[in-house]
Structure 1
């Protein structure tokens, strides 16, 4: 059980204390995983990794298949953030395989993880059939991934049609991940001549409170996209706010460096420098 709310760290520590006092390893593991969530939200990858590794060691010692899978996927997410895509794919696949053998209901998550990796390495369009299958399996949750895959594969008209079916995004653990995907889709379609400044404005407003946050989605301990600040920079450019975009990209570079993500750092730094050199006309 992962806990929402401002008292999240307090409850996590209480779970650990109860687990130690009453010899309940399940409580301890849950508390440690919640501490990892708190560390992720706080942009502290070192603390996040430490809590996950402690949870994994404990779960393995007590042979707890589901928590083992959760912790292994969380570690795979850190590898994804570092841009080690082949290693991340292997770790996700191994963890999902063990979860499936243990009868976990979450084992089907692998398709989504692999699609996220393909997006990160720039090969999503080459895996269009896989993304279609994912969309058929999980529905709207993969809608924006399908838009991005179609766009990357050169199927812009179909991408536009799928994009028009997009529904609201729930404000849960995947909110920043899914909202960032939606923003990426909007930016991609704008580059193909299908600008939607109204949606871009709404997405910018939705993500702005998270502008100094961690890589999008990492608080789920399962998936991650570039820092939210980077996506805000792209939206700001689309909306003609070059100065804001430069600020966002600079922040994204700093966050990427903190998370040991050299590929994201280089991209954000290049975007920040490029915005400073090229004026961007405001869309009307």
Structure 2
């Protein structure tokens, strides 16, 4: 078969059929002018503990329905297990006691009072000299003897002395006296200083009790209190008439520089106040 006949045969056989197609180059997709809106994502419900990830769905797929919480399950009710410990109970607060009443201003300031130990009673007075009367707590032949006082505590310890008026004014600052009072837990404001203003005669107990209610006496010297002249010994604390404690000692000037007398005084004060 010649060439022309072969060509004609094939043209009739493949009429309308493309025997060879040249592929066209792939074109890049043009930038989209409109962006497809993403599928709506359901917001996590208040009752869901952790958010649920929603996969992106095709634009043509319908969005899943969003669950709406009902009023009954909007706020979950917490449940307490039976084994949970109960809340501690707060004990009731006791009411405060009423405040103590303020002391009466007319009664005077409050002071410390030395506590007495059990003291022996004073011995009976010896027969007095003819013509002399033994004084009593209510009457005395020396009731007229004057005396001076320093201090504002009528119920405190009474310190009896016989010194000059100038020395008497300095006694509240006397170091020896302040140390003695400190040893029995007192201060100078807790006592009353009494200066007997007669060189020989003692002061009367009945006269002192007109202005002082104290029943504790510490005498620095001889012949200072009428009811103790015949019934007491130095450095021997006793009870006079069952209610008046008395202790006699040497003069302050002698005690300040005598260690032996200081020791005697301290031992007797221990028996009187600290026993």
Normalising by structure 2, report the TM-score: 0.22
Normalising by structure 1, report the TM-score: 0.22
Question: Greater relative contact order (Cα 8 A, min sep 6): structure 1 or 2?
Answer: 2
